[in-house]
């Protein structure tokens, strides 16, 4: 994928962001936030075209987006509360994504491999990958095949609740995949759905790495050595993912960046990228901000307020001594390789 140049001759780096909860958040009014709206409302209150969220189509253009991975976030406990199956909630949000893409198809295409991604780019359109955050909606192999047929590109194996698939970091780091989880990972890699281990326990990530035959993802995780949060990755798992050929999406969630500072700072993101680079090299790095999946506590002070601010990270990496080639790999090159390995 060629880079693009501004009039000044300065390289404009394209962006592939690995994780955003924007579709689920279309049910939520940012100015009047009420929980569980994806269960209570049949229609969204916002549009993918323009909204007050971290991401919309106009903001993606401003951020020089090549592709955005949109996750469909499934809260299993609320599924029980509202007596809706996880699969039904998945289909509700999947249909919303398809409706939004169709409504604005002159601007964005739904893609599922490199060929469709490049075709969208050639047509000067944005590209959207459909993904799911919470593998618990899959209860049998037939559903996994159906998810593949629908174009799901990756599945985050668990969120914050223990399921028949495995144990999340939020519950117990010492327990990992369960019997169905092992089978699910193997089948995902066979049929071409990428495996995302963000939120999974440390033992669970070890379990995935033992059986993975293709590169895996940690779509929105930082370095635990710099911020001791259970959701961040310890050094041995960073190395393990690098050895697997996978990528780690460094994110701007403030409580994943620092234990002591609630402000989103470019310097902190650069520090996490530098740590992972020093530990395991440039090929394991990617960007996965978790946009529209968290609330900033000091938005007036944040260096990154939405996806349009991502060029600031490019400047920060340049100032930190990263080369243009390395920055391109971090922002889109490494994930293109993983996409090709898994999806074609």
Q: Could you give the number of structural domains in the chain?
A: 1
How much is the average pLDDT of 6-33? Answer: 81
Residue 135 CA to residue 123 CA, distance in Å, equals: 33
Query: What are residue 270's DSSP bridge partners?
Result: none
How much is the average pLDDT of 74-93? Answer: 97
Query: What are residue 233's DSSP bridge partners?
Result: 223
Q: Is residue 288 part of a domain?
A: yes
How much is the average pLDDT of 27-32? Answer: 84
- Strands (E) across 185-276 are located at 194-196, 217-218, 247-250
Q: What is the pTM of this model?
A: 0.95
pLDDT at 303: 95
Task: Indicate the pLDDT class of residue 299, thresholds 50, 70 and 90.
Answer: confident
Task: Indicate the pLDDT class of residue 213, thresholds 50, 70 and 90.
Answer: very high
Residue 304 CA to residue 176 CA, distance in Å, equals: 34
Whether residue 7 has pLDDT greater than 50: no
Question: Tokens 């993912």 identify what position?
Answer: 241
Task: Look up the CATH number of the domain holding residue 71.
Answer: 3.20.20.140
Q: Is residue 131 part of a domain?
A: yes
The torsion region of residue 11 among left (phi > 0), alpha (psi -120 to 50) and beta comes to beta
**Alpha-carbon distance values, 275 to 219, 226, 271 (Å):** 17, 8, 6
Q: Half-sphere exposure of 194 toward its Cβ, with a 13 Å CA cutoff?
A: 35
Q: Which residues contact 302 (CB under 8 A, 6 or more apart)?
A: 254, 263, 264, 265, 296
Question: Residue 116, Cα to own-chain centre: how many angstroms?
Answer: 19
**Residues 64-95, buried b or exposed e (16+ Cβ, 10 A)?**
bbbbbbbbbbbbbeebeeeeeebbebbebbbe
How much is the average pLDDT of 321-342? Answer: 97
**Average pLDDT score over the chain:** 95
**Alpha-carbon distance values, 239 to 132, 166, 182, 215 (Å):** 25, 22, 21, 13
How much is the average pLDDT of 41-64? Answer: 96
Residue 332 CA to residue 317 CA, distance in Å, equals: 14
Report pLDDT digits (tens) over 142-153: 999 999 999 999
Q: Is residue 96 part of a domain?
A: yes
Q: Is residue 265 part of a domain?
A: yes
pLDDT at 11: 58
Out of 132-146, 214-228, 285-299, pick the least confident: 285-299
Q: Which residues contact 137 (CB under 8 A, 6 or more apart)?
A: 74, 85, 86, 87, 89, 90, 143
Q: Is residue 51 part of a domain?
A: yes
Q: Which domain holds residue 57?
A: 14-343
Q: Is residue 4 part of a domain?
A: no
pLDDT at 2: 42
Out of 7-16, 48-57, 207-216, pick the least confident: 7-16
Q: Is residue 9 part of a domain?
A: no
Q: Is residue 1 part of a domain?
A: no
pLDDT at 34: 77
Nearest CA to 66 out of 27, 144, 119, 29 is that of 119
Report pLDDT digits (tens) over 161-182: 999 999 999 999 999 999 999 9
Q: For a pLDDT cut of 90, what percent of the chain falls above it?
A: 92
């Amino acid at each position: 994928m060629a880079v693009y140049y501004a009039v000044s001759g300065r390289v404009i780096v394209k962006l592939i962001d690995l994780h955003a909860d924007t579709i689920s958040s279309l049910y939520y009014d940012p100015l009047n936030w009420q929980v569980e709206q994806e269960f209570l409302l049949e229609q969204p209150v916002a549009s993918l075209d323009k909204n007050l969220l971290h991401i919309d189509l106009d903001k993606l253009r401003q951020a020089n987006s090549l592709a955005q991975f949109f996750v469909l976030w499934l809260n299993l406990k609320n599924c029980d509360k509202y007596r809706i199956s996880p699969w039904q909630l998945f289909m509700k949000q999947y249909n919303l994504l398809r409706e939004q893409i169709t409504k604005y198809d002159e601007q964005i295409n739904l893609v599922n491999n490199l060929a469709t991604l490049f075709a969208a780019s050639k047509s000067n359109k944005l590209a959207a990958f459909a993904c799911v955050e919470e593998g618990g909606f899959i209860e049998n192999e037939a559903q996994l095949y159906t998810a593949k047929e629908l174009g799901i590109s990756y599945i985050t194996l668990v969120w914050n609740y223990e399921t028949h698939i495995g144990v999340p970091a939020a519950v117990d780091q010492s327990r990992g995949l369960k019997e169905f989880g092992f089978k699910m990972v193997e089948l995902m890699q066979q049929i071409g759905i990428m495996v995302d281990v963000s939120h999974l326990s440390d033992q669970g990530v070890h379990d995935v790495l033992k059986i993975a035959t293709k590169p895996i993802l940690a779509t929105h995780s930082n370095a635990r050595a710099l911020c001791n949060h259970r959701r961040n990755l310890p050094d041995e798992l960073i190395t393990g993912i690098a050895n697997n050929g996978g990528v780690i999406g460094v994110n701007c969630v403030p409580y994943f960046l620092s234990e002591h500072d609630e402000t989103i700072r470019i310097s902190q993101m650069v520090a996490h990228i530098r740590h992972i680079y020093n530990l395991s090299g440039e090929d394991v790095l990617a960007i996965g901000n978790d946009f529209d999946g968290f609330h900033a506590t000091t938005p007036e002070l944040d260096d990154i307020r939405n996806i349009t601010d991502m060029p600031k990270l490019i400047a920060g990496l340049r100032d930190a001594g990263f080369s243009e080639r390395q920055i391109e790999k971090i922002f889109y090159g490494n994930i293109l390789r993983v996409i090709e390995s898994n999806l074609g």
